[in-house]
Structure 1
């Protein structure tokens, strides 16, 4: 009996907004070299996301926010790679 494995989709978020951060390199290495067949890792940019504003949730949500929400919904897992800054998360992820 052959069991067909379905594709598993991971979403990666890099919490460092620099041009070429180490965290992004780690995510690229995972995506290109460490994943088994039928497992994919897509990195979603956080560069276009506005600071959180609860007023925007009530009406005109920016397209970048909707894109991230869609990417999270379509993924089975989310991987976050971010530097630790003073025992906390980076400003790109802090809300």
Structure 2
């Protein structure tokens, strides 16, 4: 069974994005396992600390990415962009240069916002950062969730249409994971 790593761009205790990841984990059934890695303990990126023995939480984060077959990133939008905590984590994940565990990894991105645009600007930044790292972002219609606060029920994504749409994105991720490496090289 494929192992997916969920990364929420929000540290908030009752984060909509973490709740969305938990809802996806529940909905996956026997398709895959989704494990969420919290970013709370990831320190600010410091190239001086990025040595052969990086901070323990960074080493654990990089290892979790390496062990995963694919990544699901759920991000809010802060001031028309992705949160600093997520950008910081991706900066750590992009190292060491040329050997990062995120390079070549299939990634499904989604964003949410209480606003109508659903975090589309944050998703553009997120996908651009992932492209610069060399991650394989799943190509599909943009997965943005507007008015996210109205789609939550008891701490989970309660809107069936939205959950179904996101599950199609996870299905696309699982198909990308199943593609032979030779097909990925030919497509690029």
Write out the 4+ residue segments of structure 1 that deviate beyond 3 Å after TM superposition. Answer: none
Relative to structure 2, which stretch is displaced further, 64-73 or 51-60? 51-60
Q: What does 1:20-39 correspond to in 2, within 5 Å?
A: 20-33=14-27, 35-39=28-32
Name stretches of at least 5 consecutive residues in structure 1 with no aligned partner.
1-6
1:75 equivalenced with 2:68 (yes/no): yes
Q: CA deviation at 1:71?
A: 0.2
* 1:17-73, Cα deviation, whole Å (9 max, x unpaired): 11110111100000012x141401000011110000111112541110000000000
TM-score, length of structure 2 as denominator length: 0.45
Measure, in 1, the Cα distance between the counterparts of 2:45 and 2:2. 29
More helix by share: 2
Name stretches of at least 5 consecutive residues in structure 2 with no aligned partner.
89-188
Measure, in 2, the Cα distance between the counterparts of 1:36 and 1:19. 25
> Over the residues paired in the alignment, what is the CA RMSD in angstroms?
1.3
Does 1 or 2 have the higher relative contact order (CA < 8 Å, sep 6+)?
Answer: 1
